[in-house]
Structure 1
Amino acid sequence: MPVYRRADLSRTIKLVVALCLTAVSTGVFAREFRAADTQNEDYPTVQALGYMGSLVSERSGGRHQIKVFHSRQLGEEKETLEQTRVGAIDLNRTNVALIGTMVPSMNVLAMPFLFRSIEHLQKVLDGPIGSELLNSFEPYGFVGLAFYDSGARSIYNSVRPIRSIDDLKGMRLRVQQSEQMSATIRALGAEPVELPYGQVLTGLSTKLIDGAENNWPSFVTTDHYKFAGFYTLTEHTMSPEVLVMSQKAWSSLTPQDQKIFREAALRSSRFMREKWRDLEEHSRKQAEDAGVRIITDIDRKPFEAAMAGIYAKAQRDPAMAGLIERIRKVE
């Protein structure tokens, strides 16, 4: 049986400690990060998370992987956001209207009739304002990585065509679990019903609700169009999706790996934008082919005028008022 000298043991211990410190400093420890998305496997946001995962794996030399849990496998959005904030989930794709209940600056992106077009929205998100908004997450337990497109949200229902604001009176419409979205629908004369995304189909099929509001892909991929035959192009909000990371997961990364994650997220945003355009066109055609009546001849001015109280409340906050003004000035 070999006998080791004290000097040999000391050198061995020092070598092991040095190797461990090197591993920590260079970030060679592998880790699998969990990402949550409530949409189905083929949805552009889920595909974008998968694309981001492949970039992270490639650029980290296989040390880091992202496992995407789609189709509400980790829960509804509100639940997964709470889990992300405490670090139980590492990455989360959500809509700004919902996370606005936790990160107040996000509410500006869900303001009704704020954006003149999708192109206007993209210029805002791709410019200095978008960067500032992503940087506003950290005090609330998140790190903002990228925005994803979500198109324009419009009202659909099973009762009647909506051509004027009066047609909405008394109608029960599902909204996101957001005070601002409830206030928006209430200002239009309808009754908002806050429901998790996964419960909307049941609400429509059982007549618990008369309708809801969302974009074309969400309307079709969830089968809502089978129970709501009237789709009115109100396009009242263009609230985007946002990809966030928990502070806990972010702080576990080295600066080099943080750069890899941030760059991969931004590339996934551009990847998602192309996928989104295709799905949006396909979804509208699928709804039309199924017999959904699309109402385009609406008088939008009364809808916009009804938002005066929403804006008056928001603009009591000088920071919010300033953001709204800056967004309107973007050309």
Structure 2
Amino acid sequence: MKFAFALKTVCVLGIFTWLSACSDDESQVTNIRLAHTLDVQHPVHMALEHMNSELLRISNGKMALRIFPSGQLGSEREIIELLQIGSLGMTKVSASSLEAFVPQMKVFSLPYLFQDQTHFWNTLQGEIGQRLLDAGSQYRVKGLGYFDAGSRSFYTTKQKVEKPQDLNGLKIRVMNSQSAVEMVNTIGGAATPVSFGELYTALQQGIVAGAENNPPSFYYSKHYEVSQYYILDEHTSIPDVIIIGTHMWNNLSDQEQAWLTQAMHLATEYQKQLWAESTQMSLEKVKEAGVTVLKADKSLFQNSVQPIFDELKGSDLEPLINEIKALGQANE
């Protein structure tokens, strides 16, 4: 199958191949394959569809995204690796999934780093956020922008959690992220990495006693069907990141790069709105399904994770942490 690729005459065949034959014909469309792991009803997927619509509009039909949702082309890590070798164009991944490729992204997994949404977005859409997007270039990925992934909170199948001590000894599913493991273990839980696709069964069979995620993911994954409690402690705000392989980016013309950058900006603003609406709807739906949604005393949880920040004193990450905290204080 052929996919246009700006002003090059390359044709590569294979299931994961996205590069295609191109010509000097200006009417040729530049298609970029974009894969992600989320359901088509998820607000992130809808925002990516919006990004494609805007890209088609801005470029007068000369540039488009071809989106492969629901993990069709692999897990987040597998998709990132496809970007690195030039076998895929773009993807949406959690900042946590980028930790292994862009170590500075670990900062987003730190609990209670951001004071509020204003502080969060001032960081992401300012100089700090751009610097982190650019930090992936040496790993052959370039960040284009961020999507809101809300705040992650704990949910459990049987045991009500209202304070950190209630997590003591409970097996809590976390992403395959050292930062996530450390956070849950520090609070007192027993962090247990499990793939997202296997989590429903793990909760149902009691392999884990709970997990942590944002409200839309809790709802769309149907984890509320096997979980009785959801406590809104909102321990981390880990954004999604839209990334493009540097091989893809470097082969786009300046005009195509500008089109894609503009479409990214428009999609971000659209996704913020979708996310807020989806969060409210998701909480209403899980309550209707019988889940007890609890408000946490965040100060208790904040105190429980202070050892994480104490251990980071003198580390390479400390200057970035202080910079982010200072930005929040400046906006008080």
TM-score class normalised by the smaller sequence = 0.7 to 0.9
Secondary structure, aligned partner of 2:124: helix
- Mapped to 1, the partners of 2:181 and 2:284 lie a distance apart of 29
Q: Secondary structure at the match of 2:61?
A: coil
Cα distance in 1 for residues equivalent to 2:97 and 2:31: 26
CA contact (8 A) 2:233 2:297 kept: no
Contact 1:135–1:144 (CA under 8 A) maintained in structure 2: yes
Instruction: Answer 1 or 2: which has greater helix percent.
Output: 1
Of residues 318, 322, 330 in structure 2, which corresponds to 1:325? 322
Quote the Cα distance in structure 2 between the aligned partners of 1:42 and 1:299: 32
Partner residue in 1 for 2:303: 305
Q: Matched residues in 2 for 1:25 and 1:195: separation?
A: 48
| CA-CA distance at 1:225 after TM superposition | 0.5
**Percent identity, aligned pairs only?**
27
1:210 CA displacement: 0.9
Tell whether the 8 Å contact from 2:92 to 2:243 is kept in structure 1 after alignment: yes
Bigger Cα displacement from structure 2, 301-310 vs 273-282: 301-310
Q: Distance in 1 between matches of 2:89 and 2:314?
A: 35
Equivalent position of 1:138 in the other structure: 137
Gaps of 5+ in 1: 1-19
The structure number with the bigger radius of gyration is 1
Measured against aligned partners, the alpha-carbon deviations of 1:39-79 in whole angstroms (never above 9, x if no partner) come to: 11121111111111122223333232211111111122122
- Separation in structure 2 between the aligned mates of residue 69 and residue 147 of structure 1, nearest angstrom: 19
Residue 288 of structure 2 is aligned to residue 289 of structure 1: yes
Structure 2: gaps spanning 5 or more residues = 1-8, 10-21
Q: Which residue of 1 aligns with 2:6?
A: none
Aligned residue for 1:239, secondary structure, equals coil
Q: Number of paired residues?
A: 308
Q: Secondary structure of the equivalent of 2:135?
A: coil
The residue matched to 2:150 in structure 1 has which SS?
coil
Q: Per the alignment, in what secondary structure is the counterpart of residue 163 of structure 1?
A: coil
Deviation, 1:192, is: 1.1
> Partner of 1:247 in structure 2?
246
Q: What letter is aligned with 2:324? A: I
Partners of 1:146 and 1:255 lie apart in 2 by: 18
Residue 68 (structure 1) aligned with residue 84 (structure 2) = no
**How far off is 1:244 after superposition?**
0.3
- Note if contact 2:230-2:293 (Cα within 8 Å) is conserved in structure 1: yes
TM-score normalised by the chain length of structure 2: 0.88
Q: Which amino acid aligns with 1:322?
A: P
User: For the Cα contact (< 8 Å) 1:35–1:91, is it kept in 2?
Assistant: yes
Instruction: Select between 269-278 and 190-199 the one with higher mean Cα deviation.
Output: 190-199
